[in-house]
Amino acid sequence: MKILVFGDIVGRIGREAVMTSLPGFRVQTEPDLVIANCENLAGGRGVTERTLDQLIDAGIDVFTSGNHLWDRERIADVLANERYAGRLVRPANYPSGTSGRGWILLTVGVKKVLVVNFLGRVFSETLTENPFITLDRILTETATAGPDIVLVDFHSEATSEKVAFGWYADGRTAAVWGTHTHVPTRDERILPGGTAYITDIGMSGFRDGVIGVERESVLHNFTTKQLPMRHNVPSSGEAIVNALFLTVGDRGQATAVEHLQRIITIG
């Protein structure tokens, strides 16, 4: 199976860049499944029905997310909407009773694919459950369903936590990719147990700013403590698109992994 994964898509410029580049990526990779992290879709913070619909119509099959998923007031309505129930995954290690689903099991061709999302705890202000232990629980709970392929988006601030999780999941998942920090680490590899791994895929968004926002406000905040400024996500300009292309064999282990990148001008 061939799988194409986009990291954090940031704002309108990120959405437009992914929608523009996806047809070319399809020709290049011929993916059976396309996944994207959506937590920054709407103005850089959270998601809306409209922004999700744009990318569904463009060909994204499944959305993972992260801590910024909750930044829009109507997120509970989005998570309850049947249109997104089998597509949108929130971090699985939020407390029980949290809206939404932490994993989904879908059928792609003749394969059952389990997509799981976790939020890291290092440097995080969110009180989540242990993602390592939660992975064990989910794999146990879904074992009777017999997933052929297990894919994990690990949304985390600390690279050390992501690397440790990759090793913890090695041999039990087809892939673990990192999101959240927006900068591609380019350390993609297949671990000894057959798990494809990268610490961070990198974002799709405004290229000439600071992790997707205009650089002026960020530089102001770093140089002046007294008067912080609101960050702005440009809607046009030079955009960068970062993606990960995975090939998974019949035994549910990765056989190839490649980082892909495009630069696109959005008017």
Average pLDDT (78-107) is 94
pLDDT category at 39 given cuts 50, 70, 90 is very high
pLDDT exceeding 70 applies to what percent of the chain? Answer: 98
Backbone angles phi, psi at 36, to 5 degrees: -145, 150
Known binding site for Fe cation: residues?
A: 8, 39-40, 67, 155, 180, 182
Q: Which residues contact 234 (CB under 8 A, 6 or more apart)?
A: 11, 13, 206, 209, 213, 214
If you average pLDDT over residues 173-194, what whole number do you get? 98
- Binding site: residue ranges? 8, 39-40, 67, 155, 180, 182
User: According to the model, what pLDDT value does residue 169 have?
Assistant: 98
Percent of the chain with pLDDT over 90: 89
Q: How confident is the model at residue 165 (pLDDT cuts 50, 70, 90)?
A: very high
Verify whether residue 68 is a known catalytic residue: yes
Range of the domain at 58: 2-266
Q: What DSSP character marks residue 233? A: -
User: What is the total count of domains within the chain?
Assistant: 1
Burial bucket for residue 3 (CB in 10 Å: 0-12, 13-18, 19+)? buried
3-state helix, strand, coil in the chain (%, to 5): 30, 30, 40
Q: Is 237 exposed, middle or buried (0-12, 13-18, 19+ CB in 10 A)?
A: middle
So what's the pLDDT on residue 224?
A: 81
Average confidence score pLDDT of the chain: 95
| CATH classification of the domain holding 20 | 3.60.21.10
Q: Pick the catalytic residue: 68, 220, 231, 259? A: 68
